[in-house]
Amino acid sequence: MSEVLVHTTVLLAEAVEALAIKPDGIYLDCTFGRGGHSALILQQLGANGRLIALDKDMTAVSHGLEWQDARFKMVHSGFTHLAEVLRELGVERVDGILLDLGVSSPQLDEAARGFSFRFDAPLDMRMDNSRGPTAAQWLETADEGLLTEVIRDYGEERFAKQIARAIIVAREIQPIQTTGQLVELVGKTVRTRETGKNPATRTFQAIRIYLNQELEELKQVLPQCVTHLKPGGRLAVISFHSLEDRMVKHFIRDMNDADKLPRNVPIRASEVPKGKLNLIGRAIKAGKDELNSNPRARSAVMRVAERSDVA
């Protein structure tokens, strides 16, 4: 595309502030996107600081590879391979890790990526479009039970069963290959929806989350983050979906709780085992100014935790 797609980084200042940047620290941006968070981190790093950025999207990676900064390393990888990437780079632990989850604005705004119902384009939806089946290919083979489960569980769509049935019927006539076809199909099936919301919103979201295994990858990466944080290191996670936020919230809570001891065990407070993460503050959301300039920030929730001094 000749058009330059602009990406407004959500919770930019808040996320970098949450990491409590040390000038000589090592930081990991697990979702580089267009580099908004990474650029601000680099501004706060000294000459001996280091920033490693990951992304599975080749367009994002290509953008990062253009950066000329000896402190910066761009890696084409999903964040589930965090441990492997650090091992290959000779890094054992880092001072901070940032996860900015979900789909980026450029991915939504580039019609050919097939993420958005706003354009009629090939139905792709892959964050890493160099591998794996497209959404169109998955819709061609998924059975009705799986379609219902995905749309219901990942999209929290109450008309999931009806949409799944409609997909099965429609694909027997012709393959569902474009976003426009799917939007039209869902629109005819879902008769009611929130004011101002496209009827296909939840279905598109569900297919995208499932196709890219977003919840499964989040589940895999969170323990790796704890393992590879230095004592005192910070973890900041920005999520845009209630299922993601719930997973992050419960993970931090569980890592904050020490091993449960039986009641009435005679033990000093100093001897109670400590958890591996300490929650830092409350969940952070975008302020009014940011919401006015970037409505996509309305669903963003950031949670922050710090690695305890437990080895």
Residue 250 annotated in ligand binding: no
Residues 182-237: tens digit of each pLDDT: 999 999 998 766 777 889 999 999 999 999 999 999 999 999 999 999 999 999 99
Residue 52 falls inside a structural domain: yes
Domain boundary (165, 190, 211) is at: 211
Residue 57 annotated in ligand binding: no
Closest CA to 290 of 4, 9, 5: 9
Identify the pLDDT of residue 291: 85
State the Cα–Cα distance between residues 222 and 225, nearest whole angstrom.
Answer: 5
Residue 115 annotated in ligand binding: no
- How many residues in the chain? 311
For residue 261, what are the domain limits?
Answer: 12-105+214-307
State the Cα–Cα distance between residues 80 and 168, nearest whole angstrom.
Answer: 33
What is the dihedral sign for C-alpha 25, 33, 61, 126?
positive
State the Cα–Cα distance between residues 48 and 34, nearest whole angstrom.
Answer: 24
Residue 100 annotated in ligand binding: yes
Ranges of residues in the chain whose predicted pLDDT is under 70: 1-7, 105-106, 108-109, 192-193, 258-274, 310-311
Domain identity same for 293 and 246: yes
Residue 24 annotated in ligand binding: no
Identify the pLDDT of residue 112: 72
Residue 113 falls inside a structural domain: no
Residue 36 annotated in ligand binding: yes
What's the domain count of the chain? 2
Cβ proximity of 93 and 10 under 8 Å: no
Domain identity same for 256 and 218: yes
CATH of the domain at 172: 1.10.150.170
Identify the pLDDT of residue 1: 31
DSSP string across 80-148: GGHHHHHHHTT---EEEEEEE-S--HHHHH-GGG---TTS--B----SSTTSS--HHHHHHH--HHHHH
- Name the residue type at position 107: Q
Domain identity same for 234 and 94: yes
Cβ proximity of 31 and 101 under 8 Å: yes
Residue 53 falls inside a structural domain: yes
Identify the pLDDT of residue 252: 96
Query: CA 210 from chain center: how many Å?
Result: 13
Residue 1 falls inside a structural domain: no
pTM of the model: 0.87
Residue 174 annotated in ligand binding: no
Domain boundary (211, 239, 260) is at: 211
Q: For residue 8, give the 3-state DSSP assignment.
A: coil
